[in-house]
């Protein structure tokens, strides 16, 4: 995709959704960190169902620790891999209390040092909670980067680095959400809904799909 086309691509997404937001429900950086940690290989809808019950009871590191492993598992057992996620979350809470005064750190290095928190999760927290212009490359963004020609790459890191380099600064703050939502609802994995796509004019995907008869 040409540099000039990238500007049109994101201007169009911005016009349709000027203030995109994550579909994970949260009210504090810690709630966001918890939700993102729980969302690995799970849907946002499924995570939200669990956290709607969890957060009114425990939404701070100390309160989560006070639940203990069995208590926490009761709230998140509907989420895939809940046992390992519960262990990671409890250890993360312990580290937050012991090393960060119970607050979510604002650096990638400190975030990635937390159990269960990888580069993607750290990028989400930095972008959504703290307004950093980062790019969390999940399966949707990895697919879009390659399919559209926006930022082809063999690894999520390669796609991330290209996106950060190619996306105009004016769009970086919200680019992560525009791409995720576009990939989730329009440029879907099995069959992209090209007939509904507002940015198809700049997309390099050749076999455009037609609307079902």
Catalytic pick from 120, 165, 204, 206? Answer: 120
How far is 200 from 207, CA to CA, in rounded Å?
Answer: 11
Catalytic pick from 49, 77, 138, 204? Answer: 138
Taking alpha carbons only, the member of 166, 152, 159, 165 closest to residue 204 is 152
208 is catalytic: no
138 is catalytic: yes
How far is 182 from 135, CA to CA, in rounded Å?
Answer: 15
Distances (CA, A) of 166 to 12, 40, 48: 16, 27, 33
Catalytic residues: 120, 138
């Amino acid at each position: 995709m040409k540099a000039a086309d990238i500007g049109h691509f994101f201007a169009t997404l911005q016009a349709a959704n000027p203030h995109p937001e994550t579909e994970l429900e949260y009210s504090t950086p810690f709630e966001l960190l918890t939700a993102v940690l729980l969302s690995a290989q799970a849907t946002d809808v499924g995570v939200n169902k669990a956290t709607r019950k969890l957060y009114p009871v425990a939404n701070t590191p100390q309160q989560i620790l006070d639940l203990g492993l069995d208590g926490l598992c009761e709230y998140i057992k509907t989420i895939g891999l809940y046992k390992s996620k519960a262990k990671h979350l409890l250890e993360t809470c312990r580290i937050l209390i012991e090393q960060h005064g119970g607050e979510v750190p604002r650096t990638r290095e400190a975030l990635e040092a937390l159990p269960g928190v990888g580069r993607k999760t750290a990028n989400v927290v930095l972008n959504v909670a703290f307004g950093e212009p980062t790019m969390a490359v999940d399966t949707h963004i990895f697919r879009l980067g390659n399919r559209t020609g926006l930022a082809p790459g063999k690894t999520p890191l390669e796609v991330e680095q290209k996106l950060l380099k190619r996306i105009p600064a004016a769009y970086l703050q919200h680019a992560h959400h525009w791409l995720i939502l576009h990939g989730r609802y329009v440029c879907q994995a099995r069959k992209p809904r090209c007939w509904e796509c507002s940015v198809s004019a700049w997309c390099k995907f050749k076999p455009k799909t037609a609307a079902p008869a």
